[in-house]
Amino acid sequence: MTVWADALIQGILLGGLYALFAAGLSLIFGIMRLVNLAHGDLIVLAAFVILTLAAWLGLDPFAATIAALPIMFVAGFALQYLLLNRTLGRDLLPPLLVTFGLSIIIENGLLELFSADSERLHAGAIETASIMLSSEISIGVAPLLTLGSAIAVIFVLNFIFYRTSLGRAFRAIADDLEIAQLMGIDHPRIFSVAMGLCFIVVTIAALYLGMRANFDPTIGPGRLLYAFEAVIIGGLGSFWGTLAGGIILGVAQTVGAQINPEWQILAGHVAFLAVLILKPRGLFPRAAD
């Protein structure tokens, strides 16, 4: 019985990481209906930025992440302003294919710069620290911090969305772009701010990705799929739904791995497909489409 309880607890904690992957994707889709196929590669890119800053400045990963945040915000703003804004319109293909091309460029650019070797963000004692719940179940401090950060990130995103003037602009654009423009909203700039915000979430996700396990330039697409599954399981348009989706995905994976270690990823995908068949709009839908 305890192994299942353990799998459940570890799954919930893993779900925090997946919710962090998904929150940025959810934010961007909610505001501009853009599905970013390079999202996973951006998370890996951010992990390499943290790694490089930590090595250059001699910082621990947490401090390096704080140093990376403004850089990544500007990078996200610039990417949206200079490239992605040009792709948005009625046609579905340009944003999809441009972000797909971007995904290939980022992955191979990282391969060229950092080689295919596995890397890791070393944070010292916190990596292995844990809290004993009973003689057989213990909770790692780092996974707990991941889940806590995911909850904090989603809390802040909700606050921005529903309590600030920036959030009002986000919601206006999401509801009706043309009317929002008539009201004087500078939508290319708002989109760019949203992407900058997305990059901040991506950087936080990258910190915990890099501390949890090894990473290399090729793992981006896998992270995109987890993020996407968490968003769809949770239901479009709801940040708390995305958190729930991440946790369900995490639990499905750890329970699957408990049955057969080879089934971890497959179990997550199967849970996603099951939700898609039974509740195509996700478990906690908010948006109309």
Q: Which of 94, 140, 167, 285 binds other proteins (CB under 8 A)?
A: 94
Q: Candidates 14-22, 29-37, 171-179, 207-215 — which segment interacts with other proteins by CB under 8 A?
A: 29-37
Buried b (16+ CB within 10 A) or exposed e, 117-156: eebebebeeeeeeeeeeeeebebbebbebbbebbeebbee
Q: Give the C-alpha separation, 157 to 5, whole Å.
A: 31
CB of 273 to other proteins, least distance (A): 6
Contact between 287 and other proteins per CB under 8 A: no
What's the sign of the alpha-carbon dihedral 73, 78, 79, 84? positive
Contact between 138 and other proteins per CB under 8 A: no
CB of 96 to other proteins, least distance (A): 5
CB of 13 or CB of 231, closer to other proteins: 231
> What is the three-class DSSP state of 59?
coil
What's the half-sphere exposure (Cβ side, CA atoms, 13 Å) at 44? 28
Q: Candidates 98-106, 144-152, 171-179, 185-193 — which segment interacts with other proteins by CB under 8 A?
A: 98-106
Contact between 93 and other proteins per CB under 8 A: yes
CB of 74 or CB of 105, closer to other proteins: 105
Q: How many helices, marked H, and strands, marked E, lie in the chain?
A: 11, 2
CB of 113 to other proteins, least distance (A): 9
Q: Give the C-alpha separation, 154 to 238, whole Å.
A: 10
CB of 3 or CB of 92, closer to other proteins: 92
- Give the DSSP per-residue string, 205-254: HHHHHHHHS-B-GGGHHHHHHHHHHHHHHH-TT-HHHHHHHHHHHHHHHH
Q: Give the C-alpha separation, 225 to 235, whole Å.
A: 15
Show contacts with other proteins in window 267-286 (CB under 8 A): 269-270, 272-273, 276-277, 280
What's the sign of the alpha-carbon dihedral 142, 145, 147, 150? negative
Q: Candidates 10-18, 86-94, 188-196, 207-215 — which segment interacts with other proteins by CB under 8 A?
A: 86-94
Taking residue 55's Cβ as centre, other Cβ atoms within 10 Å add up to 10
Q: Which of 55, 57, 74, 105 binds other proteins (CB under 8 A)?
A: 105
Show contacts with other proteins in window 31-60 (CB under 8 A): 33-35, 37
Show contacts with other proteins in window 56-85 (CB under 8 A): 83
Start-to-end CA span in the chain (Å): 41
CB contact at 8 A, 17 and 222: no
CB of 32 to other proteins, least distance (A): 11
> What is the three-class DSSP state of 140?
strand
Check residue 58 and report its DSSP letter.
Answer: T
Contact between 86 and other proteins per CB under 8 A: yes
Contact between 183 and other proteins per CB under 8 A: no
Show contacts with other proteins in window 202-261 (CB under 8 A): 221, 224-225, 228-229, 232
Q: Candidates 4-12, 89-97, 129-137, 208-216 — which segment interacts with other proteins by CB under 8 A?
A: 89-97
Contact set with other proteins (CB under 8 A): 33-35, 37, 83, 86-87, 91-98, 100-105, 107-109, 111-112, 221, 224-225, 228-229, 232, 262, 265-266, 269-270, 272-273, 276-277, 280, 289
